[in-house]
């Protein structure tokens, strides 16, 4: 297939039709390096008219079609050949496991193969949230659902050694294997890691914190999100505390972080639950005199800082 003047509406339906039966679809388009500006601009080359689209358009389309885009190959001037290959939808940690509930995210799980910190769309907004929460001024940090500790590694790498060593970082997770691995990575005395159910946080008698972080955890089925969140704000935060919550707005499919929340009872991504929980937290925190920002894309980061 060669698309010179086809509209995106035509291209989308042609590719969708092919992918219903084939694993791969190959097509030629105007070399994106030869144009600029908005997608849909018309460009005339050697008296022929082409519609310009940049690589972002094509990678977005590949993601929407649940495909991986291969390296484009130069074709007859001024075209390039694009190849979209369907992602392996069976290769995802979202599928049920036979592991006990606590080990769904343990070191032997499919989830443990994911390294979010290698995904710029995650790392960028997490670092921005740490900056906005004034990490530099914090001394006691609580992370709920710490897993193997990646979120603490970013904190450690972004602070100077003396500041880091003067902080106390506490991470909780009910996965024994994840906490064992985290303990192997953080041998320093200022980091304490507990294998514990966060529903029973009170039994650890941890005191108060000036930074609370919880990413991809509070919406877990084992946690009664809203009452749990309110009790955290009431009982675990110092007066000038900051909060960073990460809400997944993506699914992991075939190794890729695909935009859009996974929703029960829907084949497509659906974001009602996500918006409901995020707005609940935002309103609750604003009532308690926090300034709240929402950022991110595949993960929505809620960052709250106390208005003093």
Ligand X SMILES: C[S@@+](CC[C@H](N)C(=O)[O-])C[C@H]1O[C@@H](n2cnc3c(N)ncnc32)[C@H](O)[C@@H]1O
Say which DSSP state 33 is in. Answer: G
3-state helix, strand, coil in the chain (%, to 5): 35, 30, 35
Token duo for residue 82: 């694009």
Closer CB to ligand X, 42 or 222, in the complex: 222
- Binding-site string for ligand X from residue 62 to residue 81, where x marks contact by CB under 6 A and - marks none: --------------------
**What residue has token string 């990460």?**
246
- Least distance to ligand X from the beta carbon of 248, Å? 7
Q: Which range binds ligand X by CB under 6 A, 36-44, 66-74, 153-161, 194-202?
A: 194-202
SS3 of 29, please? strand
Q: Which of 32, 35, 72, 145 binds ligand X (CB under 6 A)?
A: 145
- Binding-site string for ligand X from residue 217 to residue 246, where x marks contact by CB under 6 A and - marks none: x--x-xx-----------------------
- Least distance to ligand X from the beta carbon of 178, Å? 5
What are the residues whose beta carbons fall under 8 Å from the beta carbon of 153, sequence distance 6 or more? Answer: 117, 185
174 binds ligand X (CB under 6 A): yes
Q: Which range binds ligand X by CB under 6 A, 41-49, 63-71, 157-165, 174-182?
A: 174-182
Instruction: Return d(Cα 110, Cα 103) in angstroms, integer.
Output: 11
198 binds ligand X (CB under 6 A): yes
- Least distance to ligand X from the beta carbon of 12, Å? 32
Is beta strand 237-248 parallel, antiparallel or unpaired with respect to 209-215? parallel
**Which residue of the chain is nearest ligand X when measured via CB?**
145
Q: Which of 50, 105, 229, 301 binds ligand X (CB under 6 A)?
A: 105
Closer CB to ligand X, 78 or 246, in the complex: 246
Characterise 205 by phi-psi region: left (phi > 0), alpha (psi -120 to 50), beta (else): left
Burial annotation 208-220 (CB, 10 A radius, 16+ → b, else e): ebbbbbbbbbbbb
DSSP secondary structure letters along 45-83: ETTEEEE---HHHHHHHHHHTTEEEPPPEE-STTEEEEE
113 binds ligand X (CB under 6 A): no
Tell me the site size for ligand X, rule CB under 6 A. Answer: 19
**Nearest 5°: phi and psi at 171?**
-120, 140
175 binds ligand X (CB under 6 A): yes
Instruction: Kindly list the residues in this chain that would bind ligand X in the complex (CB under 6 A).
Output: 105, 116, 145, 147, 151, 172-175, 178, 197-199, 215-217, 220, 222-223
């Amino acid at each position: 297939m060669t698309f010179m003047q086809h509209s995106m509406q035509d291209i989308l339906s042609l590719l969708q039709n092919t992918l219903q039966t084939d694993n791969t679809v190959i097509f030629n388009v105007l070399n994106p390096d030869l144009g600029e500006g908005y997608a849909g601009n018309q460009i005339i080359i050697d008296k022929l008219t082409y519609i310009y689209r940049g690589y972002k358009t094509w990678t977005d389309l590949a993601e929407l079609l649940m495909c991986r885009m291969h390296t484009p190959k130069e074709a007859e001037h001024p075209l390039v050949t694009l190849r979209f290959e369907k992602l392996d939808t069976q290769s995802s940690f979202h599928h049920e496991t036979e592991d006990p509930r606590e080990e769904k995210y343990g070191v032997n799980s499919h989830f443990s193969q994911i390294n979010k910190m290698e995904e710029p769309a995650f790392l960028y907004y997490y670092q921005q949230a740490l900056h906005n929460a004034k990490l530099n001024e914090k001394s006691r940090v609580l992370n709920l659902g710490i897993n193997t500790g990646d979120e603490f590694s970013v904190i450690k790498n972004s602070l100077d050694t003396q500041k880091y060593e003067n902080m106390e970082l506490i991470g909780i997770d009910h996965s024994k294997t994840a906490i064992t691995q985290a303990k192997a990575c953080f041998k320093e005395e200022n980091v304490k890691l507990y294998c514990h159910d966060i529903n029973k946080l009170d039994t650890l008698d941890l005191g108060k914190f000036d930074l609370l972080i919880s990413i991809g955890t509070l919406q877990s089925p084992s946690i009664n999100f809203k009452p749990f969140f309110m009790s955290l704000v009431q009982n675990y935060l110092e007066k000038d505390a900051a909060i960073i919550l990460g809400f997944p707005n993506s699914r992991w499919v075939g190794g890729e972080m695909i935009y859009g929340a996974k929703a029960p009872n829907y084949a497509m991504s659906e974001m009602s639950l996500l918006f409901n929980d995020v707005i609940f937290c935002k309103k609750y925190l604003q009532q308690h005199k926090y300034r709240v920002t929402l950022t991110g894309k595949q993960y929505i980061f809620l960052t709250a800082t106390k208005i003093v």
